[in-house]
Amino acid sequence: MSSKRSSQYHQVEIPPPQPFLKSLKNTLNDILFADDPFRRIRNESKTSKKIELGLRHVFPILEWARGYNLEYLKSDVISGITIASLAIPQGISYAQLANLPPILGLYSSLVPPLVYAVMGSSRDLAVGTVAVASLLTAAMLGKEVNAVKNPKLYLHLAFTATFFAGLMQTCLGLLRLGFVVEILSHAAIVGFMGGAATVVCLQQLKGLLGLHHFTHSTDIVSVLRSIFSQSHMWRWESGVLGCCFLVFLLTTKYISKKRPKLFWISAMSPLVSVILGTLFLYFLHAHFHDIQIIGELKKGINPPSITHLVFTSPYVMLALKIGMITGVIALAEGIAVGRSFAMYKNYNIDGNKEMIAFGMMNILGSFSSCYLTTGPFSRSAVNYNAGCKTALSNVVMAVAVAVTLLFLTPLFFYTPLVVLSSIIITAMLSLVDYEAAIHLWRLDKFDFFVCLSAYLGVVFGTIEIGLILSVGVSVMRLVLFVGRPKIYVMGNIQNTEIFRNIEHYPQAITLSSLLILHIDGPIYFANSSYLRDRIGRWIDEEEDKLRTRGEINLQYIVLDMSAVGNIDTSGISMLEELNKFMGRRELKLVIANPGAEVMKKLSKSNFIESIGKERIYLTVAEAVAACDFMLHTAKPDSPVPESNNV
Amino acid sequence: MSSKRSSQYHQVEIPPPQPFLKSLKNTLNDILFADDPFRRIRNESKTSKKIELGLRHVFPILEWARGYNLEYLKSDVISGITIASLAIPQGISYAQLANLPPILGLYSSLVPPLVYAVMGSSRDLAVGTVAVASLLTAAMLGKEVNAVKNPKLYLHLAFTATFFAGLMQTCLGLLRLGFVVEILSHAAIVGFMGGAATVVCLQQLKGLLGLHHFTHSTDIVSVLRSIFSQSHMWRWESGVLGCCFLVFLLTTKYISKKRPKLFWISAMSPLVSVILGTLFLYFLHAHFHDIQIIGELKKGINPPSITHLVFTSPYVMLALKIGMITGVIALAEGIAVGRSFAMYKNYNIDGNKEMIAFGMMNILGSFSSCYLTTGPFSRSAVNYNAGCKTALSNVVMAVAVAVTLLFLTPLFFYTPLVVLSSIIITAMLSLVDYEAAIHLWRLDKFDFFVCLSAYLGVVFGTIEIGLILSVGVSVMRLVLFVGRPKIYVMGNIQNTEIFRNIEHYPQAITLSSLLILHIDGPIYFANSSYLRDRIGRWIDEEEDKLRTRGEINLQYIVLDMSAVGNIDTSGISMLEELNKFMGRRELKLVIANPGAEVMKKLSKSNFIESIGKERIYLTVAEAVAACDFMLHTAKPDSPVPESNNV
């Protein structure tokens, strides 16, 4: 380290001043266009080509349709039919879960997939309704409007909520506010989804036990209460039937899990159980009239519903709220799913573009009797395993569903609800991802805490409470990071000019008479007084240590600013305060490696003048060398390096 | 740089594992006891001494009483009387502002100062009521309870609010949650105080124009409307009188500002103008019966009010809310004032201890007919200039006020309200600190934005809106910092092993075929997908650049993690994704200088295994040297260093 002692040091430069508007523009550009989506278009010279690229950007179908071939078609048809066989029973079940007419589940698997096939950029996503959003609709809407007493209003509000959700999703995409979805951290989603799945399963007890009346609230306490309060109403027939199908479904799922090649077994099993259940009741309903059935499903494809959207009723705000919340959750799931499959197949997905696709598909959906749809994981996984090549598989599914709607709906008359319940439960169980939770605990306690609070919030409170909790705790973490940055003492790694945290590198050696502190975060109003106190404490402790050792006392405090990304006015006045405070104690403040932003502000605020330009160094090594040098020129007795024993 | 090429590199160590509870304890200790207030007590061996130190810690009076001497007493008496002469008229004025009986202003300058003298740790703070809190009480309480129609309830709720404020302050102090106050950044306070002062001045127009009816809302629009709507009610007499006194007060203030030695002129002027105004009306009230006067003030010191606290009425939540808000604002001002004067005189103040002192003084105040008090800047400045030595000056002031209460209250019968108005305006004008605002603009645009939004929020909305705005915007900044960390390209500063931002150091040179990116912040869920996109964009741009130059293409991406303070599970999965993504593009990901926290998590998550331990280096220089070395062993043609022209 002594090598540097006599040589001269490198200047820390003050970055060239930038006009305010220019820097603002750069910042916004960085924030909103991080992935620079229009590069290809910009780089293109010919206008015609520009337009073509633009169109392809908006409608990815133009991208993949050109390279399309027969072999693709084969695999897309197969996977399309496979997901259709899953979509039909699932759609009906989730519509039931949302307290909406079952037929809506089928409608929602017709129009939105077609829209997505044109606008979506994922090749593996299979579009459809999701359990959580369905339950959320039922829970939030059911509180205000009774689905049984006032089905019409309930239905129309569901459409309106879907419309608002789509509108918001489109806007987020157009304004490139994709990061709004980021507010839901991975940990939060794990906890939230797990909680929602638990709640959904609890709801299914109604179907399994063949109960007619059930609580509107979703928390575990009131659900269990309402179940055991009417134990005399339990119907053993539906219970037994349900358990049989549950066992069947879980077994098939288990098999497919063990043997991914046999994915189609679990993919087909819901349809199979619907058929079996229906046949069973068709022949024996006389004996089992206690088992509830779907009943009449009217024929024909989606009727238009654009005229049913309500923007005047007192409930419009409610619809807006539901749309917002369900919309964001749907986005979070859909985009996550799209991303993860894109990872497997090595292609990229533009979150903002996806949002627009989802948004359009919900807006047009709300015009054609559909409720909220997104890219559910279960269905997309099946689609992927079935070997889909492009979004065409969604079209195939839509066609299959259309055929069903036109000709086959009467067949569902005798389908027992309890089968649907067991289908839902099977789908939900895989969402309770306790392994992920354990992983979180091992890796990051705070993330586990986020996950747990989300889960408990959903299960014991409401879905909204769970959502608010998870977001709140996650954001608290960010604020806490900035509010309480780490400060640690640095030591020199022998025979190098490298300085590191002495707790991380215990062999690093510290010099008596100078203390090197590394600030591990920005200096903002929220942490400046904390930093002042904490640095003061470091100094006290160091001086005590030296005093007990009877060594010469502290002379220089080197602040390593390498990790100080930014500083605000409160931060600067803190530094000035600190400088004064050190002056009082005959300590000299030295600053190492301030970044561009920090250096700019320090110079603007004349802090540099006040401590002197010669107190600012480019690296810790140079700062230390300089202090060391001054110490020696100051007086003969040199501070001997001593291995730290903190 | 080539020096390193052949030598071996330093290990990045995985920090020794720490039991969860231990690390939790350390973290909490760091967060809550940053300044380690009990060090002296802990280091003391003898129990008796421990207790004594403990008592001194709680009651600072024990600290300074011992060293007290006659000369101290002299200066304390002088400054005490000086601030009393300011406290009496100010107290009455602010009580008026709060729509409370004027006498409360005097009560509030009697008990709280005595409490603070015992428990407070500042030597310069002068305790009393403040305009902003008074106005806030009037505004928030006035909305629900009419002070004229229902004065009793209004008064009792004011006491209750004070009690709650004190309770909260004490709790914050005891729980060492001092940082709650930090949420108000310096910029926010400047804007908020300025706005509040503007609003207070506007309120005074009522007194100046001698209006009887006035709007309850505080925003500039409705105030001006209510003034010009009743222009026929304006009283020129009070207007003229008020302006005279305003001129007088401002002149004295100006003199004292020019000549700090003459501080007493501005300190005395309020009392002088009260006396003059009173005499004037005493002799001429027959002719000027239009000018409103204080009227009857009942003799005697503070009556107990503990029985008047209401915890049952429907308004208790309102009182709680008011207590919370005014309490926090009062704390922010009081502590800031105490700190700044402590800086001048080189002594330290424990924020949490101060909070307990403020809290106790408000609790006991609410028991003895006082409303919210704190350490107002104006009064404390006078105290400081008058050369106070200890908190005894507060006691002297209290005695002077007590004498006034016992014998002199009748003298205030003829005091014209308009004088009080001009006193308030004079006090407020100094709070509109436009210079500070300009300074903010010069230094930090975002802070200026915070300041401005706070100001406008208060002036055009309500004081609460202003408060919420300022806090909201400030917190948004923190989240934005974490949400959108800077990423920049690093270059090598010639003939050194130092790597820096090439925009900050344009002479730094980059190597073709490797790209060094510095991530300037933690990697959290809120920014991981942004970082992924942004890094991808950097790579694209670099490759385009190389392609146009016809150079060999990119091979290594070095991520400098020096400034990555922490990483969560979303961040880790982002890194894994990034690694895969680079693998696809035949790029190698190399990591330089991960901190302890990051290294711990990377190893736990097996990320290190997945990219290989040899891809992690202690410094950027070593990482670059290693890549360089591999490039050369790989193939002969060496990448020539080229000065960057970004």
pLDDT tens-digit series, residues B322-351:
999 999 989 988 988 888 888 778 777 888
B555–chain A nearest CA distance, Å: 19
In this prediction, residue B428 has a pLDDT band, given cuts at 50, 70 and 90, of: confident
Q: Which residue of A has its CA nearest to B186?
A: A570
How confident is chain A (646 residues) per 10-residue block, as mean pLDDT?
A: 53 80 83 77 83 87 88 91 89 91 94 95 92 89 89 94 96 83 82 89 86 83 90 85 92 88 83 90 80 84 91 89 92 86 79 92 96 90 87 95 92 87 86 89 90 93 86 84 89 90 89 90 89 88 86 88 91 90 89 91 90 90 90 58 43
A406–chain B nearest CA distance, Å: 44
Spacing of C-alpha B311 from chain mean position: 31
Select the residue of B15, B35, B478 nearest A526 (Cβ to Cβ). B478
Taking contacts as CB-CB distances below 8 angstroms, the residues of chain B near A30 are 484, 534
In this prediction, residue B634 has a pLDDT band, given cuts at 50, 70 and 90, of: low
The pLDDT tens digits for A335-391 are 888 888 887 787 778 888 899 999 999 999 999 999 999 998 888 888 888 889 999
B30–chain A nearest CA distance, Å: 8
Taking contacts as CB-CB distances below 8 angstroms, the residues of chain A near B497 are 497
Cα gap B111→B305, rounded to integer Å: 12
| Strand, coil or helix: A109 | coil
Helix H or strand E segment including B168: helix B151-174
Helix H or strand E segment including B286: none
A79: which residues sit within 8 A by CB, 6+ positions away?
Answer: A382, A383, A386, A387, A388, A393, A396
B509–chain A nearest CA distance, Å: 16
- Read off the tokens for B351: 């924020």
Question: What are the DSSP calls for A318-369, one per residue?
Answer: HHHHHHHHHHHHHHHHHHHHHHHHHHHHT----HHHHHHHHHHHHHHHHHTT
Select the residue of B13, B573, B599 nearest A186 (Cβ to Cβ). B573
Q: Which residue of B has its CA nearest to A582?
A: B346
Could you give the angle at the alpha carbon of B488 between the alpha carbons of B581 and A559, nearest 5°? Answer: 125
Interchain CB distance below 8 Å, B563 and A566: no
Q: Which residue of A has its CA nearest to B507?
A: A13
Domain locations in chain A as residue ranges: 61-476, 484-631
Among A6-15, A591-600, B289-298, B572-581, name the one with the lowest average pLDDT.
Answer: A6-15
Q: Taking a C-beta distance cutoff of 8 angstroms, is the pair B252, B67 a contact? A: no
Select the residue of A504, A529, A604 nearest B13 (Cβ to Cβ). A504
Q: Which residue of A has its CA nearest to B493?
A: A10
Letter string b/e over residues A19-52, b meaning 16 or more CB atoms within 10 A of that residue's CB: eeeeeeeeeeebeebbbbbeeeeeebeeeeebee
Select the residue of A343, A477, A479 nearest B475 (Cβ to Cβ). A479
Taking contacts as CB-CB distances below 8 angstroms, the residues of chain A near B501 are 595-596
Residue A319, pLDDT score? 94
Is A484-631 a domain of CATH 3.40.50.300? no
> Of residues B476 and B599, which shows the higher confidence score?
B599
Cα gap A547→B321, rounded to integer Å: 50
Interchain CB distance below 8 Å, A482 and B486: no
Q: Which residue of A has its CA nearest to B24?
A: A445
Average pLDDT, chain B: 87
Say if residue B566's pLDDT is above 60: yes
- Read off the tokens for B117: 């003298």
- Read off the tokens for B115: 């409490």
Taking contacts as CB-CB distances below 8 angstroms, the residues of chain B near A596 are 501, 503-504
Interchain CB distance below 8 Å, A447 and B568: yes
Ramachandran region, residue A606 (left: φ > 0; alpha: ψ -120 to 50; beta: rest)? left
The pLDDT tens digits for A544-579 are 888 888 877 889 999 999 999 899 988 998 999 899
Q: Which residue has the tokens 């291995």?
A: A643
Q: Taking a C-beta distance cutoff of 8 angstroms, is the pair A607, A576 a contact? A: yes
Nearest to B308 by CA among B152, B517, B498: B152
Instruction: Tell me what ipTM this predicted complex has.
Output: 0.83
The segment with the largest mean pLDDT, out of A38-47, B129-138, B393-402, is: B393-402
The Cα diameter of chain A in Å comes to 108
User: Which of A21, A186, A606 has the most B C-beta neighbours within 10 Å, making it the best mutation to test the interface with B?
Assistant: A186
Among B1-5, B198-202, B245-249, B320-324, name the one with the lowest average pLDDT.
Answer: B1-5
| Strand, coil or helix: A605 | coil
Cα gap A161→A157, rounded to integer Å: 6
Say if residue B60's pLDDT is above 70: yes
Cα gap A356→A362, rounded to integer Å: 10
Amino acid at A297: L
Select the residue of A183, A568, A569 nearest B526 (Cβ to Cβ). A183
Interchain CB distance below 8 Å, A527 and B182: yes
Cα gap B353→A556, rounded to integer Å: 30
The DSSP symbol for A168 reads: H
Neighbours of B213 (CB within 10 A): 9
Amino acid at B343: M
Tally C-beta pairs within 8 A across A and B. Answer: 218
Question: What are the DSSP calls for B69-136, one per residue?
Answer: -HHHHHHHHHHHHHHHHHHHHHHHHHHHHTTS-THHHHHTTTHHHHHHHHH---SS---B--HHHHHH
Residue B644, pLDDT score? 45
A485–chain B nearest CA distance, Å: 8
Residue B635, pLDDT score? 53
